[in-house]
Amino acid sequence: MAKAVVKIGGKQYIVAEKETLLVDLLPEGTKELTLDALLVIDGDKVSVGAPTVKDVTVKAKVVDDLVKADKVVAIRYKAKKRVHKTMGHRQKYSKIEITSIK
């Protein structure tokens, strides 16, 4: 099974066919992605691109537009000053499935 390294939203991911992964939130209305492969691993054969591997594209479809991660709570506190502040954040992701590596 072939694996490829692709760049989505400034981050690099190792992907394989039929694999699902969470990536940073994609623009609204995005249904399919066509990505260039930076590196391809096919058994013992490794192809490295400069910057991308020629004639290799990775196709993906968006399974879920908005997936929220668990809440991360941050607390700011200053001792002896009666100052404290609690902030929360939930990162938003898009769930994609890799359909083909060709």
The answer to whether 94 touches 62, Cβ cutoff 8 Å, is: yes
The answer to whether 35 touches 7, Cβ cutoff 8 Å, is: yes
Q: What band does 29 get if pLDDT is binned at 50, 70 and 90?
A: very high
Query: What is the SS3 assignment for 82?
Result: coil
Question: What is the per-residue pLDDT across 35-92, written as a single tens digit (0 to 9) for each?
Answer: 999 999 999 999 999 999 999 999 999 999 999 999 999 999 999 999 999 999 999 9
Reported pTM = 0.85
φ/ψ of residue 41, rounded to 5:
-115, 115
What pLDDT is attached to residue 59? 97
- pLDDT surpassing 90 at residue 1: no
